[in-house]
Structure 1
Amino acid sequence: MTLPTTMNAMVTMGHGNMDQMVWHPDWPCPTPAASEVLVRVKACGLNNTDVNTRVGWYSKAVTEATSGDGYAKVDDEDPTWGAAPISFPRIQGADVCGEIVAVGIGVDATRIGERIITDCWLRDPQDPNDINKTGYFGSERDGGFAQYTTMPAVNAIAVNSPLSDAELATFSCSYSTAEGMLTRAGVTAADTVLVPGASGGVGTGLIQLAKRRGARVVALASENKHDAVRALGADLVLPRAPGNLRAALGDEKITVLADVVGGPNWSTLLDVIERGGRLTCSGAIAGPIVAFDLRTFYLRDLTFTGSTVIAPEVTAALVRYIEAGEIKPALAATYPLRELHAAQSAFIEKAHTGNIVVVP
């Protein structure tokens, strides 16, 4: 096929409000370098990294909850997930579903025509397990908020599924984050997992992937989302912030807290973990600064694990689960790429259950 020289793209020009995301109908179309592929983007999911990077929320200068608005102060040296600077302009968007349309030197040409989703983590080919040498698609290099994008061939994971492009675009970030958290916490069928923010993208992944491991799941969500959360497999669904969480849990014994919320209710959640239990954390959308009583931590023999960079095999495993029908997408809404501002507003407001996707 003849490839275009320009394309539509939503380009982030700097840190700040949504007006930093600027529509360009004639952005240069990328060319795959050696060991890379060119992907025609069919759909691209939204995730918190897109918002947090744009506004600079990862900077230690920011102490507030995640917001779609810019902050008064963002330090230039640590505004990204990796506590490092970012180069602008940048095309964000990590969760691509698309088709390989060209390959660079060293990539088998038979891959042209493959339907793929992204493994979002960019690794050193010579040392893929060194998490100090990782980057993130749409952060350390341009991503999928455009008609075309390039990526290392190893990050384009072939998928064979009857699911739509938009449905497949819900998996890469949210579900790999969830599976990474459960792996770090060593969740098994012996566990009961408490999932705050259960109606969000990662929450919907946590419910299904924990159930896949045979665990029991207790979900916290706004009451208007309970039916949707229950349909994903949660065994017990409670309000987002019960007045007395311990009483609301009844006889449930929480062995794992899988949290991406943080914020003012965090210490309450910590208090209900059983002695010897585990916390795994991969976010703090309600606020990164929490009250923490060290006595709860050490007197009850708790284990804490942070979870960001996932093992290389996690996305490949997710594709196997998708192809086997063991997990399903939680697609909340789709928007045209040109309406990314509206899509991010809906994402930030968390008015839906599941993931929001844009389509070029």
Structure 2
Amino acid sequence: MRAVTVVQPSADPRDLVVQDVPKPEPGPRQVRVRVHAVSLNPVDWKLTESAHPRWQVPHVLGLDAAGVIDAVGAEVTGWQQGQRVAWHGDLSRPGVFAEYALADDHVLATVPDDLSYEAAAALPCAGMTAYQGLFRKARLEAGQTVLVQGASGGVGGFAVQLAKRAGANVIALSSPAKTDRVRHLGADEVLDYHAPDLKARVRALTGGYGADVMLEVAKPADARSSLELVHYNGHLICIDPLPNMQNVPAYTYAVSIHEVALGGAYLAGYVPTQRDFAVMLADLLGRVSSGELDPMIEHRVGLDEIPGYLRRLRQGELAGKTVATLV
């Protein structure tokens, strides 16, 4: 089968190789899926820079996929050949940028018949990261104010939509060029993240206190630049990585800091959270099917184009989601 592979750690996704590799065989509690579509995420290019210690090269890259179950391993219950599924994979194992891929049966979600494989593949990593941060970690409630950094990207764009549908007031941080796009996703206010008076503007929109919840997709040099945008006893959701707290005085902000790292549930072997992947993804798939959620597909490419688009993603050129169609 053809696959996008890492042959050695590299700082440039252009060094990825599309080549033939053996078709994988499902083990116990695994299914093999004929992959129809995959989506690209920042973690994919980050992993090309430093291979995971569990990898054996050539390693198939990719985490998010949708397709049709092709084979079922021993001890699998509830799944059979021909079912349409989507999932978020384990970054320490061979990935999904391939014609066939393996998935653990307990992380699978059914793709509704009226939903394209491309839309389903766009959801797992970015959608579940936003979902877990807002609802599992910060316990977002209607009427609260959410501040979303990187609102035109994958995680940020899903966070804007999910928060708005949950009845929250959404303040989005984005570049001025992407204001219309972010407002279309549901943001009530869009602020330039480079504005020198950003703190004052956020405070003015939140009764002088700051947001209830801030979702931060990239850490600042000093955590105080984010904590000052959140009210006392608020919530800061951190995607990659945790903020630098070295210069933060104790008893000043009392903010609850939440780390969101989907891959950690696999590495820790914590099955309850892995099972929740299927629950979150099923909800997201249902929302897209009903028209409540936009999968934000901006670019549609083929398997051979993945390395080039990962490079563009690394350079910050791509908004929304990029999906590759394999079938």
TM-score bracket for the superposition, by shorter chain length: 0.7 to 0.9
| Residues 1:340 and 2:306 aligned together | yes
Alignment check: 8 A CA contact 1:161 1:322 kept: no
Counterpart AA for 1:248: R
In the TM superposition, 1:322-333 aligns within 5 A as: 322-333=288-299
Count of residues paired in the alignment: 307
Alignment check: 8 A CA contact 2:298 2:322 kept: yes
In structure 2, what is the Cα distance between the partners aligned to 1:164 and 1:323?
9
Q: Secondary structure at the match of 2:281?
A: helix
In structure 2, what is the Cα distance between the partners aligned to 1:109 and 1:255?
40
* Superposition deviation, residue 266 in structure 1: 5.1
| Residues 1:140 and 2:134 aligned together | no
Counterpart AA for 2:193: R
TM-score by length of 1: 0.79
Structure 1: which 5+ residue stretches go unaligned? Answer: 1-6, 57-78, 121-135
1:292 to 1:298, Cα distance in 2 relative to 1, 3 A? same
Which residue does the alignment assign to 2:35? 41
* Superposition deviation, residue 298 in structure 1: 2.3
Alignment check: 8 A CA contact 2:301 2:323 kept: yes
Which residue does the alignment assign to 1:221? 174
Alignment check: 8 A CA contact 1:180 1:308 kept: no
In structure 1, what is the Cα distance between the partners aligned to 2:102 and 2:169?
40
Alignment check: 8 A CA contact 1:45 1:355 kept: yes
Which residue does the alignment assign to 1:113? 82
In structure 2, what is the Cα distance between the partners aligned to 1:233 and 1:255?
18
* Superposition deviation, residue 265 in structure 1: 7.3
* Superposition deviation, residue 173 in structure 1: 0.5
Which residue does the alignment assign to 2:61? 92
Which residue does the alignment assign to 2:268? none
Which residue does the alignment assign to 1:301? 254
Which residue does the alignment assign to 1:10? 4
* Superposition deviation, residue 164 in structure 1: 2.4
In the TM superposition, 1:155-174 aligns within 5 A as: 155-174=107-126
1:9 to 1:264, Cα distance in 2 relative to 1, 3 A? same
Structure 2: which 5+ residue stretches go unaligned? Answer: 266-272
TM-score by length of 2: 0.86
In structure 2, what is the Cα distance between the partners aligned to 1:341 and 1:324?
33
In structure 1, what is the Cα distance between the partners aligned to 2:61 and 2:146?
32
Alignment check: 8 A CA contact 1:241 1:265 kept: no
Q: Secondary structure at the match of 1:10?
A: strand
* Superposition deviation, residue 234 in structure 1: 0.8
In structure 2, what is the Cα distance between the partners aligned to 1:109 and 1:299?
50
**Greater helix percent: which structure?**
2
Alignment check: 8 A CA contact 2:227 2:255 kept: no
**Which segment is superposed worse, 35-44 or 267-276?**
267-276
The runs of at least 4 consecutive aligned structure 1 residues that moved more than 6 Å come to none
Q: Secondary structure at the match of 2:60?
A: coil
Q: Secondary structure at the match of 1:206?
A: helix
Aligned residue among 24, 33, 37 for 1:30: 24
Alignment check: 8 A CA contact 1:200 1:350 kept: no
Which residue does the alignment assign to 1:275? 232
Counterpart AA for 2:75: G
* Post-superposition CA distance 1:199-241 (Å, at most 9, x none): 1110011111112221111111111111111111111111132
Counterpart AA for 2:85: I
